[in-house]
Structure formats: structure tokens, C-alpha cells
């Protein structure tokens, strides 16, 4: 990867969280960042691609646009795919998986289009095509324009690489980080999650406060691309911009298994010294000694009939505890149900945009500092 190519880098966002991902991308100094359908587009060379994978908390994937060309029938696609400079990016000894989509195009059969790309790669480069390959090449045909990209991340980026234990209905790390950002969290105040599950909000907050890169513990697909510079990548990993903090981040849950999982995860993430997890119910939580901060919580939503009445009581209890014991703290509540959010009787601001959480439509409800 010695080419000093300036690529379009496409950062895949969780639907509804494009704006905070864009803000993070700008804050981290990526060039020409703009919101586009499905995520955020920016520009940069290969080291910028590595850096995006390493340091962006809100991106689900980092794709690199390799090039595009028009094609109106399969023979034309086949011819152009065989002329594509695959050897600039792919290695003949690394298996590849090809995925294709087609929309509003004369080449409407995505499966047939995928086969043309597979044959071009295998016959011109010699790489093995495998549905199990970790390296993905993506073909998107839209309005007769074929765009080829490579997924440089591999596993989705919410898999930070240091969180083995997962509780029920987990909040993905990428989403948690963006909700923290939407709440104005920058690492300089305490955070408390009274229904912490496996600790995602608390651990993300502690990592942000300490300046830890989210991708510091894992492998990425770009490490298997042509000309990858392992020494330059190692140097980038070692230039971790970590900072000292005396802030503490708190999580509690009534489930002892969740508290054990959260404690294990914080230890694996290297933030055990900044986190405190306890087994207690919402009605027992109290504001920790010290400055006011942010309470952020992802309570149960209640998918089944009959759940809502029981959950209204839980949300009501949460709201009462916050109003009576957390003066000066802000609250952020993530839920799929506006009537449940209102059951807290907290002075809620206008809700955030609808966010797709694995098919469930959720929103962030916030307060100003509580009286």
C-alpha cells in the first residue's frame, strides 16, 4: 500500500446516528467529512483508513471506495472487472468474499453480477473466492454505475476485542458511544448507569475519559491487504493519545450475573481502576460523592403484551429516584416507547432522532440538569 492515493472513505453509521458520527469524524480531523445516505464520507490515504478503524467510536464499518465505472450489461461488467487493478489492493494468497447489490440499473441480477466480479478476481489475480473469507469486496450497481469497495474493518467495529461477557439485550458499543456524545459527554464528568447490564455505557465512558482508542485490542481486514505496512501500523497503535483522569464511572444492576460480566469486561478493557459496579435495584441508587454528571440508562422496552403496565412502574420509580436524589445531574434515557419515557415524569427535552437498534426503533430522551 505504498500508493499515496486519496480515497473516498465511507464510514457506515447506525441509522439515526449519522450526525454524532459526523461530529466525531470532524473532531478527529478526517478530511472533507460529510453526511451521506447510510453514514459519513471523508477522504484520506491508507494510514487514514487505519486510523478511522482504530479511533472512531461511532462507525460500524470503514469501507474504501476503490473505483467505479458504468456498465449496462453483464458482458461489459465482466470486461471492465477484468481490467480493474485488483493487485493494487488484494493479495493472491488471501481469500476474498464478494457481495453485490443492484438498484435502478439495467444489470438487475445481483447474483450474476457478483459472479462476474468473483471470476475476474480469481482469474486475473489468482485469489481464492470463499463465502467464509474474512475479507469482503463489495459491488454496488446504482443507475448503471458500478462502484467497487473493500471492507477494511472485517468484524463490525462494535466488537472492540476486549469484551467477552455479554448480558441480555446488549447495547452495541458504537451506539452507546454516540448516545454519550449526544448527551454532551466528553470524559470530564462522572457517569452512572443504574441498569448497566454488561457495562457498555460505563466502559465506553471510562475509555473516552482515558483517551483509549476503541480499536486497540483487535485485528482488522486491512492488515490482509496488499502492501500493508505492519511497522507503520504498530507505530500508529503505540501513539495512543491516552490521558490521566481521576473521574470514576458507576454501574449498577439488580442481576448479579450482569454485575460480574461488567466487572470482567472493565478489567479486560483496562479501565477497572476507573469503574465501580454494584448489585442493587434502581430504588436503592444514590448520587456518588463528588461533582454532578450524567445518568444514562437503557431500560427494558417491553416487547410483549402486558409488559407496559409493569414497566411504567419501573420507569416511574427511576424518575422519582432521579428527581429526589440527583439534583444537578442530567439524565439520558434510551427507549422505544415515548409513553414509558413520559412515565418517568422527568422534565424531558425534545427527543432525539429515531435510531435502528436491531430492528427496534429507539430514541434518546434527555433532561437538562435536574433541579
pLDDT digits 0-9 by tens, 75-125: 999 999 999 999 999 999 999 999 999 999 999 999 999 999 999 999 999
- Strands in 360-366's sheet, in edge-to-edge order, are 275-279, 249-253, 191-193, 294-297, 330-335, 360-366, 355-357
Cα–Cα distance between 208 and 210 in angstroms, integer? 5
**CA 310 to each of CA 170, 183, 219, 323: distance values in angstroms, whole numbers, following the listed order:** 21, 27, 43, 20
pLDDT digits (tens, 9 = 90+) for 200-239: 999 999 999 999 999 999 999 999 999 999 999 999 999 8
pLDDT of residue 244: 87
356: helix, coil or strand? Answer: strand
CB-based contact 370:328 (threshold 8 Å): yes
The Cα–Cα gap between 244 and 212 comes to 11
Per-residue pLDDT, 82: 97
Q: How confident is the model at residue 162 (pLDDT cuts 50, 70, 90)?
A: confident
pLDDT for 117-149, tens place per residue?
999 999 999 999 999 999 999 999 999 999 999
State the burial class of residue 196 (Cβ atoms within 10 Å of its Cβ: 0-12, 13-18, 19+): buried
SS3 95: coil
- DSSP 8-state code for residue 140: E
Positive or negative, the CA dihedral 251, 256, 258, 262 is positive
CA dist., res. 193 & res. 171, Å (int): 12
The DSSP bridge pattern shows strands 31-36 and 7-12 to be unpaired
**What's the pLDDT at 309?**
82
Domain annotation for the chain: domains and CATH numbers: 7-151 (3.30.2130.30), 173-212+219-366 (3.40.50.150)
Q: Do residues 92 and 60 make contact, with C-beta atoms less than 8 angstroms apart?
A: no
Residue 171 CA from chain centroid, whole number: 10
Whether the per-residue pLDDT at 165 is higher than 80: the answer is no
pTM: 0.95
Is residue 25 helix, strand or coil?
helix
Amino acid at each position: 500500500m505504498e500508493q499515496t492515493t486519496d480515497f473516498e472513505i465511507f464510514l457506515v453509521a447506525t441509522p439515526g446516528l449519522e450526525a454524532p458520527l459526523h461530529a466525531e469524524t470532524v473532531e478527529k480531523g478526517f478530511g472533507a467529512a460529510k453526511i451521506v445516505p447510510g453514514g459519513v464520507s471523508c477522504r484520506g490515504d491508507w494510514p487514514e483508513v487505519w486510523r478511522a478503524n482504530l479511533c472512531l467510536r461511532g462507525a460500524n464499518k470503514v469501507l474504501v471506495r476503490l473505483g467505479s465505472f458504468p456498465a449496462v450489461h453483464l458482458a461489459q461488467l465482466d470486461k471492465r472487472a477484468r481490467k480493474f487493478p485488483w493487485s493494487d489492493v488484494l493479495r493472491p494468497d488471501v481469500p476474498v468474499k464478494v457481495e453485490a447489490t443492484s438498484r435502478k440499473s439495467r444489470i438487475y441480477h445481483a447474483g450474476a453480477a457478483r459472479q462476474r466480479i468473483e471470476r475476474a478476481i480469481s482469474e486475473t489475480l489468482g485469489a481464492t473466492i470463499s463465502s467464509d473469507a474474512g475479507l469482503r469486496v463489495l459491488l454496488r450497481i446504482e443507475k448503471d454505475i458500478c462502484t467497487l469497495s473493500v471492507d477494511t474493518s472485517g468484524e463490525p467495529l462494535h466488537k472492540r476485542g476486549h469484551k467477552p461477557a455479554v448480558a441480555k439485550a446488549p447495547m452495541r458499543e458504537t451506539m452507546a458511544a454516540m448516545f454519550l456524545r449526544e448527551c454532551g459527554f466528553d470524559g470530564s464528568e462522572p457517569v452512572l448507569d443504574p441498569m448497566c447490564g454488561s457495562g457498555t455505557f460505563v466502559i465506553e465512558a471510562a475509555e473516552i475519559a482515558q483517551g483509549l482508542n476503541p480499536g486497540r485490542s483487535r485485528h482488522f481486514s486491512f492488515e490482509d491487504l496488499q502492501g500493508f505496512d505492519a511497522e507503520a501500523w504498530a507505530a500508529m497503535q503505540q501513539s495512543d493519545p491516552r490521558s490521566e483522569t481521576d473521574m470514576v464511572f458507576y454501574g449498577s444492576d439488580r442481576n448479579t450475573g450482569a454485575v460480574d460480566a461488567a466487572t470482567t469486561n472493565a478489567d479486560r478493557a483496562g479501565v477497572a481502576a476507573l469503574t465501580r459496579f454494584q448489585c442493587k435495584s434502581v430504588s436503592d441508587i444514590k448520587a456518588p460523592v463528588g461533582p454532578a454528571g450524567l445518568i444514562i440508562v437503557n431500560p427494558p422496552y417491553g416487547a410483549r403484551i402486558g409488559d407496559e403496565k409493569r414497566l411504567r412502574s419501573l420507569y416511574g420509580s427511576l424518575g422519582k429516584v432521579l428527581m429526589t436524589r440527583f439534583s444537578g445531574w442530567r439524565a439520558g434515557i434510551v427507549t422505544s416507547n415515548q409513553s414509558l419515557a413520559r412515565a418517568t415524569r422527568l422534565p424531558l427535552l425534545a427527543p432525539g432522532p429515531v435510531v435502528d437498534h436491531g430492528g427496534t426503533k429507539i430514541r434518546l430522551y434527555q433532561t437538562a440538569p435536574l433541579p
